[in-house]
Amino acid sequence: MKHLLTTKELSREEAELILDVTEQMAEAVTGREVPKLPALRGRTVVNLFFEDSTRTRTSFETAAKRLSADVVNFAAKTSSVNKGESLRDTALTLQAMGADAVVIRHPAAGAPQRLTEWIEGAVLNAGDGTHAHPTQALLDAYTMKKRLGGVEGRTVAIVGDILHSRVARSNVWLLSKLGAHVRLVGPPTLLPKDIDDWPVEIGYDLDASLKGVDAVMMLRVQRERQNAAFFPTANEYARLYGLDERRLALMPDHAIVMHPGPMNRGMEIAAAVADSPRATITEQVTNGVWVRMAVLYLLLTNGESK
């Protein structure tokens, strides 16, 4: 594995290896006075973000620092991209500065793949358009493993704006590869049309789709990617597809509530549900650091030093 671009191209063995190393990273660092490992000392990780991010950017930065790498944060908004510099020239500049790994978030699907053609270091996709967000799916799978005891055989409902969601796409491929049953639930206007070959069930009725789930993953309604009216009003959306306390009670007692963040409280998820003990939202953020440590470590060392 040289790059991490999508979960679709990961084998089950590779995904399981990442989740096993994630566990090792969490165990190695948790409770240490200095929560650092020397594994990536002398390596440089560049965070190249062309889109806003709170969790993913800081999580990759924390992960790289915990592995003792040097970290360069590149924000497109304050760079020469604003003067017209291309992605290729930006990438070559970072390469000339000795980047061993580039973590890229870009609004265009396929931008991380293009980057692999121009630079020698590892490329890690931190979200490209509506295409893929592999480390989010890996941290979601790890969270299920920790909370539910595993992924194999579990039923996961992914709810809401599937059409615009790279998180949903990455989870569909990863969770199904790991043996989970995936249900996609949302209004017909927010379900992609070309999903006949996706390994999922489709539902339009959220109440019915919550029965028998082990996890429900609520997706943010991505207004910024919507160039048409996909539903009449925010209130109507919340009434039909929002997870509130009444709907939480329809789920089995052990079932967990996930959200990749950022959340629209009161729209896809009620505040009382987001703050309930059954929600794993902050745990997902914590687990994201372990997952990104595992991925950086595996890509940059081939698993050969720790």
Contact 238, 268 (CB under 8 A): yes
Q: One-letter amino acid identity for 95? A: Q
Establish if 261 lies at the interface with ligand CP (CB under 6 A): yes
Contact 222, 263 (CB under 8 A): no
Select the span of 107-115, 229-237, 259-267, 274-282 touching ligand CP (CB under 6 A): 259-267
- 260 near ligand CP (CB under 6 A): yes
CA distance 116 to 5: 10
- Closest to ligand CP by CB, 39 vs 289, is 289
CB of 128 to ligand CP, least distance (A): 12
> Between 28 and 125, whose beta carbon lies closer to ligand CP?
125
Q: What minimum distance in Å lies between the beta carbon of 51 and ligand CP?
A: 8
Q: Among residues 207, 262, 275, 282, which is the contact residue for ligand CP, using CB under 6 A?
A: 262
282 binding ligand CP? (CB under 6 A): no
- The answer to whether residue 53 forms part of the interface with ligand CP (CB under 6 A) is yes
**By C-beta, is 37 or 291 nearer to ligand CP?**
291
Least distance (Å) between residue 54 CB and ligand CP? 4
Note whether 280 binds ligand CP by CB under 6 A: no
**Interface residue with ligand CP, options 8, 36, 55, 265 (CB under 6 A):** 55
The site for ligand CP (CB under 6 A) is made up of 53-56, 127, 136, 260-262
